[in-house]
Chain A
Amino acid sequence: MNGLAIRVMSTVDTPTAHVFTQPIKKIHESQDVSAFLTSKAYTDIMTWILQLNRSMFPLKLPDNTTQAWVINSDAIQYSAPIRQLQRLLLKLEDIIQEVPPDTGPRRFGNISFRRWCEVVDSRASDLLKECLPAELLQTGSSQGEGVTAEAELKAYLMGSWGSGQRLDYGTGHELSFLAFLGGIWKLNGFPKADPGVEERAIVIGVIHPYLDLIRKLIKTYNLEPAGSHGVWGLDDHSFAPYIFGSAQLSPAISESDLTPEEGSLLNAPDPGGVAKANIVERERQTNLYFAAIGFIYDVKRGPFWEHSPMLFDISGIRAGWGKINKVGVLNLDGRYWWANRQQGMVKMYNAEVLSKFPVVQHFPFGSLFSWDRDPNAIPPPSTVHTTSGPQARPVAPDQGMPSVAATRPMPGAGTQAPWAKSGSVGQTSLPGATAAPWAGTGRAGAPGSSTNSSTRTLPIIPDTSRMPPGAMAPTRAP
């Protein structure tokens, strides 16, 4: 194979000499998103997602049969760390029993979720200790300021459950969980194995149960979609299951094949099946994409084509699940999904999650996911996205302003200002509650009169996304 880099996310070379830092937020205004897109963290996150994605493609076996990677597949072996992570998720689920939803009057989101978050927070260190080896967690204690790996991992773990303040959950929280797993990977917390073995165990054995737990939290505590675009978004809460789920149904490959860009696994359900309740009911048992669709059926009433027009349109794609998944080059040529051709779930993720200020603004950067510039990154041109995005909210003049009481929790179901950046107004906002775009700020900013075509280009990293893991790639092999 050729030697293009970044096939597999690099790991920490010499953990004992590694200096950890307490992760902190770096994305303060919309302009900072461009810096993020050329950071090492961004490269790592994309690499990690592509690495997991690749592992979910069905495998051609030497005997010409095909091995698909379905939910609960016996063909996926769970290593000890995977099992520990599963236990961690079960413990978190048990906390729901301890904190039943409040039965008092409420507007929408259930206040008890705040308590659930507090309990998780208070037990996070213990839960991590039970889950991961002490030597991994304590790495770094003798270096520099004595910040440990635990401190970094905990930041991402705690960012994974939604906002206790706003009682919502969105793709930014999902991203945090992917980073938590990626951090463990970087610390060599998963055993060495053939390409894809641990990755698919992570997706099926950890990410899928995580998503199930999230769905339970959403239903139990009535969590709002963070930053919902209503019907004009892919999904109210999630993105990852659509990426990995479409890979599950793509054509089978052998380890050295390029990742397919079209076609489907033999006998895969027709993408149009998402609009048919009986097919969804069947497929959600084995496939992440349909599991996510199934949840939409659980919580929404109304015609599918109306409440989920994006997913409905995608279901009309004739070139198969490979096309739906298609990663393609990572530069985007347009924000508007409807009008411009973006190709596939991963590109869409790049545009709609990683490039959106309200989503990534709360992502903390430490040593594992570093704010440092990636020397190989190609800087994004100045674009609509970075120039017309909402700016930080101007400081309110003292004059004439009231004294302001302590920040109150979001009372649920409201719009947040996309520009809002105060406190932990987080990932995005809610269905009832609109956030000011400029507060914390801006999902895509208002296209000014001159920017309606909204072309935007993201940084280009070498397009190795369809290539199998190569020999030159940094691997965890010693």
Chain B
Amino acid sequence: MSDLDRAIEQLRACRLIPESQVRELCYKARELLIEEGNVVSVDAPVTICGDIHGQFHDLMELFRVGGDVPDTNYLFMGDFVDRGFYSLESFLLLLCLKVRYPDRITLIRGNHESRQITTVYGFYDECIRKYGSANVWRYCCEVFDYLALGAIVLGASSELEPTSSTVNDTAQSNLAIADSELETEVLDSRGHVTMSTYRPRQRSSSDASTDSRNISPPRDISAAPGQVAAPSRSGAPGTGASSDGNGSAVTSRTGAVLCVHGGLSPLIDSVDKIRLIDRKQEVPHEGAMCDLLWSDPDEIEGWGLSPRGAGFLFGGDIVKQFNHLNGLSLVARAHQLVMEGYKEMFDGGIVTVWSAPNYCYRCGNVAAILELGEDASGGGTVARSNGEFGRSNGISGDNRVVSPGRRYRVFEAAAQDTRGMPAKKPVADYFL
């Protein structure tokens, strides 16, 4: 068993590894991360996760519900640290898994992966308390600077494979009439389907309209529905940084999914602009990089000031336009607590995924992860464009991309009896 495997085993047991090993781990992680672009390309199938915030036992529950690494391909959208008691254990485990299985787990940066934020919201204090110095905090912060800013999921299927477990209602499958496909499905932590939606199978230019057959999803339908006029684009496509298929805008039948911690930026109108950022630095107080990690969607038109004091609020029109211009079907982001664990907004153009159940021990929320399946319809190959919008759809002339099938697994906080025994009561010598 390698040192790395041993470290993984130890961290899975919620026990810290020695400082020297952290240093080595962080060094290796940096070497790995420096090779990644600002926007990592990830192939479906993938399981997308939101904020963790040091809730180690709940992270273990997440792996139980979503499958273990490397069996499941994971994408974590940042905010691994701060506020929770086990930021170190959580982040170091994820980092070990990243170094051990670099192609099976993707970590992108959240606004809490920052020196300034971690000194305010707990991670710094945790490092001091658990290691007795700021060294480990410093090593981790150096890793933060190398984390990617976003990811593009390619090749997701528009249709979900029906879950084998339809224990709850056999009627479910009857609803999946021949001309419909399963679009979204919500499962509880035991794998039981609690909600599903279908949409008509469509191959022509007709818009994909969602046919909700079940309980209405916690989807926000209050956004102004009107069609947003997409500005016609004649110039260079937004994506073309690479011609080998790694370009961001991928318009197979199912559009690509952009994953980012916070949201959009008024300074970023194409995914390629993200690629141009010099990311290897502390998160700035403003600018594109800051916005990607700090912004929030909101029921407004256009852009608004964020009450957070960093990033912006952006409305449904902004999302629709951004998705359209970039051949995206969905923006997946984290950054905001949602009581149901996930929340789709703006006709499903953006989703918030939150993976820290009963946040801060008191919020009473459930957590969710989002699974995107692999599109097998094309015989394993995914039609990819260079992002020049409209070309890949050939003759249809239909600019509309279809959203991926989305399977949400919802879970609650880990049972308390799964926790280790209380640590030996620390000596409060600072009160001596």
Asked if A299 lies at the interface with its beta carbon under 8 angstroms from chain B, I say: yes
A425's partner among B84, B124, B309, B312 (CB-CB below 8 A) is B309
**Contact call A303/B419, Cβ cutoff below 8 A:** yes
A445, B425: Cβ atoms closer than 8 Å: no
Cα(A440)–Cα(B285), bound, Å: 12
Q: Which residues of B contact A431 (CB under 8 A)?
A: 83, 337, 359-360, 362-363
Of B61-69, B182-190, B293-301, B383-391, the one contacting chain A is B293-301
Does residue A28 face the partner (Cβ distance < 8 Å to B)?
no
Interface size on A, residues (CB 8 A): 92
| B85: A residues at CB distance < 8 A | 230-231, 306-307, 309
Measured CB to CB, the closest approach of chain A to B50, in angstroms, equals 11
Nearest CB on B from A438, distance (A): 5
Contact yes or no, A302 B361, CB < 8 A: yes
Give chain A interface residues in 67-120, CB to chain B under 8 Å: 105-108
Task: Report whether B416 and A410 are in contact in the complex, using a CB–CB cutoff of 8 Å.
Answer: no
Decide: A232 near B266, CB < 8 A? Known: A437-B120, A452-B134: no
CB < 8 Å A-B pair total: 273
Q: Which residue of B is nearest A410, CB measured?
A: B307
Cα separation A446 to B22 with both chains bound (whole Å): 22
Instruction: Report Cα–Cα, A445/B285, bound state, in Å.
Output: 13
Inter-chain contact B134/A343, CB cutoff 8 Å = no
Assembled-state Cα–Cα distance A192/B385 (Å): 83
Task: Say whether A18 faces chain B, with CB atoms less than 8 Å apart.
Answer: no
Residue of B83, B124, B126, B309 most packed against chain A (CB within 10 A): B309
Let me know if B339 is at the binding interface, CB within 8 A. Answer: yes
The answer to whether A338 and B303 have CB atoms under 8 Å apart is: no
Q: Is there an interface contact between B296 and A230, defined as CB atoms closer than 8 Å?
A: no
User: Whole-angstrom distance from the CB of A91 to the nearest CB of chain B?
Assistant: 29
Whether A228 and B308, one on each chain, are in contact in the complex, defined by CB atoms closer than 8 angstroms, is: no
A401 touches B266 (CB 8 A): yes
Q: Residue A477 at the B interface, CB < 8 A?
A: no
Q: What count of chain B residues pass the 8 Å CB interface test?
A: 72
- Docked CA distance A342–B419 (Å): 31
Residue from B267, B302, B309, B310 in contact with A405 in the complex, judged by beta carbons closer than 8 Å: B302
Cα of A338 to Cα of B128 in the assembled complex, Å? 7
Restricting to A380-403, which residues have a CB under 8 Å from any CB of B? 390, 393-394, 396, 400-403
User: Known: A107-B338, A230-B83, A408-B298. Contact between A342 and B304, CB under 8 A?
Assistant: no
Q: When the two chains form their complex, are residues B425 and A316 in contact, meaning their CB atoms are under 8 A apart?
A: yes
A50 interface contact, C-beta 8 A? no
Task: Choose the segment among A183-191, A248-256, A416-424 that binds chain B (4+ C-beta atoms closer than 8 Å).
Answer: A416-424
CB<8 Å pairs between A and B, sample of 28: A107-B336, A107-B339, A108-B363, A230-B53, A301-B413, A302-B413, A306-B85, A307-B360, A313-B428, A316-B426, A316-B428, A336-B125, A336-B128, A393-B285, A393-B286, A407-B304, A407-B305, A408-B306, A415-B117, A416-B308, A417-B308, A419-B285, A420-B307, A420-B308, A420-B310, A422-B309, A439-B310, A442-B116
